[in-house]
Structure 1
């Protein structure tokens, strides 16, 4: 995992579009590393799944979601919402249902830190395997 001080480079993600883009890439790389470590096919996933850009291409920069992916195989969705970096250790998750009553979206709300990444990896892996 990345030492805590390396997360500090993301502190201005809500104000700086370049930092925000780096943070989005961090989450994509994190997700792809989970797939790699667990011999999962990257080609079965669309990421980002949700559109987080305005019509002229500028990022919405609200971190809702900062990351999203959808499985082409079983249509499961992962959405990560990132909250302000702060000193809090916030991490929560829930399953959203779609209008056709499928429980097909894992939503993770978190502050980015090493402790939470360990739990997020576990949540994602369990979701992918279920």
Structure 2
């Protein structure tokens, strides 16, 4: 589109400015998503460590419950079932954390790809991301 006069040129520049503001807003939202994903990843390791500790503790409880002592068979079976339930819950928590990690990683990759795309179009248009053109 070739503007014919100054008014059309101003309209084109105004549309470009609005589009660039929208682009900047999208980039800011994506950067926020990336920050949240990085924050989750930083906290993820602590959750995994706690989950591993829970699994180890449940396993030890299972072994202690299975050892033959002075308890009756019914009490022993109840203790084993309780220990196995705790072990299953700890493993389920660990698996859930792994699924969350994968989901966050996928979302982070998508956000990074959107940022790269936005950067490509900004460069293609010849627009500096820090430039705030006043019209």
TM-score normalised by structure 1 residue count: 0.23
Larger strand fraction of residues: 1
TM-score normalised by structure 2 residue count: 0.23
Higher alpha-carbon Rg:
2
Tell me: higher relative CO, structure 1 or 2? Use CA pairs within 8 A at least 6 residues apart.
2
Larger helix fraction of residues: 2
